[in-house]
Structure 1
């Protein structure tokens, strides 16, 4: 009896599986059939075909065909630039997709709100930034993340303060992995809002703010980053400040970064500071970096050797000298030779 029941259950599962696959194939075929009439015109339009009738043909497609084609148009927006992209944005506006997205951003279903936020981030337009800022406090976490990424895509400076509030946790939780890149895309206009949050009492927030200051290219924020590197009580804040100073490329950061490579500092900070000195191309850091190639901590020595390559000819020359001094400093010589081997063209240097 048990065997019979098992056979019946397996048969039912097989029927359900086959039916589901058949239904998926049928739905895909129907969707392809609805897309087919408009796809050639859409491809020609995106390719820059000057036929003035293409836009009108797409703008007057039957509703069922357009609703199937619209996701294709939206997916193409992220791949196009210039006039071709502008034409597709104009097509979406003519079909009412942008106005519908503004309405859909208030719908009850989270998936609908998330799709609306994604579209608004691609096309922008009046009301898009304001609606996306509202969605940063949405009750659904995915919607909040999509809204943050969309605000970054728009690059509207007015979104900087709401994004920083999301980063500092004064609004509904938004993943910092979405907020920090969004601020980076906005760029230097986000500097003022970030600096206002740089002294937040939560070290996790300070670390994220410091990281964002480096990513937005806020060169005039370097003194604040130096202060964080030298005196912040949280190790993660100091480490991210070192990384940010390397990204900014400010000469005034060289001395604080050199100090951060000292043996009394945490290993992770020493590694990050050495890496930042390489990114800066700081020639006067060569003697310190060369000394670090013999450091007993493997990653400090390894990173210092790579940083010397990044500094340029002076750093490469120092590595060659270390490589020839195998008898005096065997471990340093190994790191030096490894760095020179990994650097294209470095082996030919003096």
Structure 2
């Protein structure tokens, strides 16, 4: 840990030119979303789905960047820039609070880490065979893309509703978010003339799925805490789409480091970083998909018998995300 702190201090957290680039990406992402929603009838479906999914996944990455203090030094400005709920399901303030808790947590521990995909031991023992099969499928690459988004959305809103029944303090957060959702759906249905089911199927679902591609292997349980976070080198497209959060151990060790500085930092210190994270590295997402397409990459049951959690945490990033929904 001391060695990592030493190399971390050698890199500034951001640059003016880089933050201007971040701002430009925010504008470009909103512009792409407006274009795709207005001209969705003219774009062939095999092109619309990946383009829309990439747009919402990139927007989720920009929300993650804003939570970590970019592109300005003002938190309120950063969050305001990416507040519009294009993906419908995730209130930004909920994402912010759960993601900060994730960074402070005992990573992967259910009940402590809000972004853990592990199932607590006690809950696993009570599950039916069908539910266990669903969770095992969710631990495959295909399953995470297909059912992961639905699990994330259901778990988040189940917890938000339960919290609201216990304490009305969450009402403002939910009401503000739903007002934003109403604005997005007004644009989609009234201005763009797009049916809701088309937006959910062609924009929201692929966007969450791509975010969950990034977070699929980024955390595993290991007895050594420093070995729980991955490096996925990726290629130019995934690095842009995920704003270099695929170099995830760098992000966790230096969360204030802006996305455009992460690759250079990693290249300069790759050998030392890989040693510190136990060599938990992948070349890219293609190799991950081939290896775990229908094979669970890790058992869904939390591997430590003393799990303190009684249920799976709810507030996921793809993927976090996230991530899971927007996770990271």
Same fold (TM over 0.5): no
Q: Quickly name the TM-score band, shorter chain normalised.
A: under 0.3
Larger radius of gyration: 1
User: What's the TM-score once normalised by structure 1's chain length?
Assistant: 0.20
The structure that is helix-richer by fraction is 1
Which structure's relative contact order is higher, taking Cα pairs within 8 Å and 6+ residues apart? 2
